[in-house]
Structure 1
């Protein structure tokens, strides 16, 4: 059984703008950093209404996908009672 929506990932065009918007509507910024992967993978994690939002302007595997990845939802992670069911 699904307990809740734990995390959603979103590719965004402008990370600064999206973070400002989400904070304005009540989200709380938990983390923002740039990882030493390739040219640097920048991302932000916010929480809104009990769900974590993972925002990034570049998807880590984007160079492997012909045509890239368009902005929008990239993944959803659900918390479940039992992985075997």
Structure 2
């Protein structure tokens, strides 16, 4: 799972650099990467709302919500529920 997260961070970095390239010099940017970025953002937002009950049931819902927006389902697989030892 660590390798998947590293590859996803590399993809986010590539998409970010492509966006910067578009701002600085449009002839060096690839429009296909922009569409890939939009699909990736839409998929992660969908995952966030789909898995929201599971994210909310964790110890740190805000942190885990942001991580799901970055890593998507790779983060959801590692989520653990709140411990119910106090009940």
The TM-score, its normalising length taken from structure 2, stands at: 0.28
Greater Rg over alpha carbons, structure: 2
Report which structure shows greater RCO (CA 8 Å, sep ≥6): 1
The TM-score, its normalising length taken from structure 1, stands at: 0.28
Greater share of strand: 1
Greater share of helix: 2
